[in-house]
Amino acid sequence: MQVDTGFTFVLFGGTGDLAMRKILPGLYQAHRGGLLPAAGRIIAVARGFGNREAYLQWMHTHVRNHIKPDGDDPLWNDFLNRILFVRVDLGQPEDYALLRDAISQLSGIRVFYLATRPSLFVPICRALSIIGLSDGARIVLEKPLGYDLQSSKAINNAVGEIFVESHIYRIDHYLGKEPVQNLLALRFGNTLLEPLWRREWVESIQITIAEELGVEGRGDFYDSTGALRDMVQNHLLQLLSIVAMEPPHSMHTDSLRDEKLRVLRALKPIEPGAVSRVAVRGQYHTGVLKGVAVPAYITEQGVSASSTTETFVALKVEIENWRWAGVPFFLRTGKRLADRVAEIVVNFRAVPHSVFDSMALRNSSNRLVIRLQPNESIRLYGLAKQPGEGMNLQSVHLDLAFDKFFKEERMEAYQRLLLDVINGRLALFVHRDEQEAAWRWVEPILTEWTRLGTVPKRYAAGTWGPAAASALLAQHGTCWLEEEN
């Protein structure tokens, strides 16, 4: 339900990459769709511009080209009317008084969106509290929230002294993606799959987020982060928790988050001695991606020439509960891989006894492939008899392509999440406990890599990662599903 009072949305990091590519376009789309209350205002905070006119000019040249479809002029100009600008040097507490003056002219709920370096989260929250702006306000924290369990706890503790948990919106943009929401619909809106969704019927599950992109000008950040922190601790573990969770009591915030948390807490801890058996670290080297030569990671801008940061991770994960005991979940993510794809593959167990003498039966099992991006689809694979003489079986699939059913324009993840913040809906944001449980599970891997000085295995850009990632699955008699499209 749309709020009918106004809102004041304060965007810290107003000229940053995220503001430019995702946040301002997301707000614009919400405006274009008539989903923002008329009285809502957006205050961009940055120190790079002298005044509002200069900021609006920057928006014209830098934000507009990230809007799809290209906004028509009246709506774009109308959107610009919502924008105010306050020049604040975030390190200067006295500058925040300017912000307070601007906010005091406006009505409705207050949202502070921190699209800044995480090291600024606590100083900004404290400054907001000192000038009396934090009471009743909502705060949005972008990832990465910390570097490890300890630093993430430190941020959560400090922010938690100022804002109550129910006003803290930790973003994981994967939760705002339409297909991820659809995963909830598929699992909990249908009876069909639920009886099969367990160890008795499922042999293994794969979750892949593969990117063609490299580090895209974020070399500095990425080189001190790596794929485990950038993608596994958050997006992949969130997807895993949605795939594996028990049916929630309702779609309300606490029910959903509690069930995801139970999964994260049930992840089988990885003992130090087991890390090298269940975790593969990779780094891309030169290669050819879709016909174009791409450079090695270590030659990217901002990356150290001797970097041992991973740009690829593959993991075997187990969940210690009755539903999933003994079922391996294979997670994989990487940059500069052969294709951009995010998908979940549920491999079902083989038939207990084969009555057919068919190679097809030996080589392929029933499986469900849920593709999240670039296109959204669900495919159910099975075997059918080839027409003609003899009893030859062949793999076929039922195909549900969502764009055939739903012609509507899809809402971008950020647009959905921004509207949720403005409307006070927390369900698609990460609770502190989830975040810390994820860090707790991931951290031993990082510690062990550091202790052993594990150097990432090289893979050529444009491939599916190092051979060790395939070997990880081969030990379990399976392989990554890569050929679908």
- In the complex, the residues that contact ligand BG6 under the rule CB under 6 A are 211, 213, 230
Q: How far is the CB of 40 from ligand BG6 (least distance, A)?
A: 26
Q: How far is the CB of 198 from ligand BG6 (least distance, A)?
A: 29
Instruction: Give 15 or 233: the residue with its C-beta nearer to ligand BG6.
Output: 233
Q: How far is the CB of 211 from ligand BG6 (least distance, A)?
A: 5
Catalytic annotation present for 235: yes
Instruction: Give 60 or 340: the residue with its C-beta nearer to ligand BG6.
Output: 340
Instruction: Give 142 or 203: the residue with its C-beta nearer to ligand BG6.
Output: 142
Q: How far is the CB of 231 from ligand BG6 (least distance, A)?
A: 6
Q: How far is the CB of 446 from ligand BG6 (least distance, A)?
A: 17
Three-state SS sequence of the chain: CCCCCCEEEEEECCCCHHHHHHHHHHHHHHHHCCCCCCCCEEEEEECCCCCHHHHHHHHHHHHHHHCCCCCCHHHHHHHHCCEEEEECCCCCHHHHHHHHHHHHCCCCEEEEEECCCHHHHHHHHHHHHHCCCCCCCEEEECCCCCCCHHHHHHHHHHHHCCCCHHHEEECCHHHHCHHHHHHHHHHHCCCCCHHHCCCCCEEEEEEEEECCCCCCCCHHHHHCCHHHHHHHHHHHHHHHHHHHCCCCCCCCHHHHHHHHHHHHHHECCCCHHHHHHHEEEEEEECEEECCEEECCHHHCCCCCCCCCCCCEEEEEECECCCCCCCCCEEEEEECCECCCEEEEEEEECCCCCCCCCCHHHHHCCCEEEEEEECCCEEEEEEEEECCCCCCCEEEEEEEEEHHHHCCCCCCCHHHHHHHHHHCCCCCCCCCHHHHHHHHHHHHHHHHHHHHHCCCCEEEECCECCCHHHHHHHHCCCCCCCCCCC
| Residue whose C-beta lies closest to ligand BG6 | 230
Q: How far is the CB of 374 from ligand BG6 (least distance, A)?
A: 9
Among the listed residues 167, 235, 285, 431, the single catalytic one is 235
Instruction: Give 88 or 337: the residue with its C-beta nearer to ligand BG6.
Output: 337
Instruction: Give 43 or 231: the residue with its C-beta nearer to ligand BG6.
Output: 231
Q: How far is the CB of 423 from ligand BG6 (least distance, A)?
A: 22
Instruction: Give 20 or 383: the residue with its C-beta nearer to ligand BG6.
Output: 20
Instruction: Give 203 or 230: the residue with its C-beta nearer to ligand BG6.
Output: 230
Catalytic machinery residues = 235
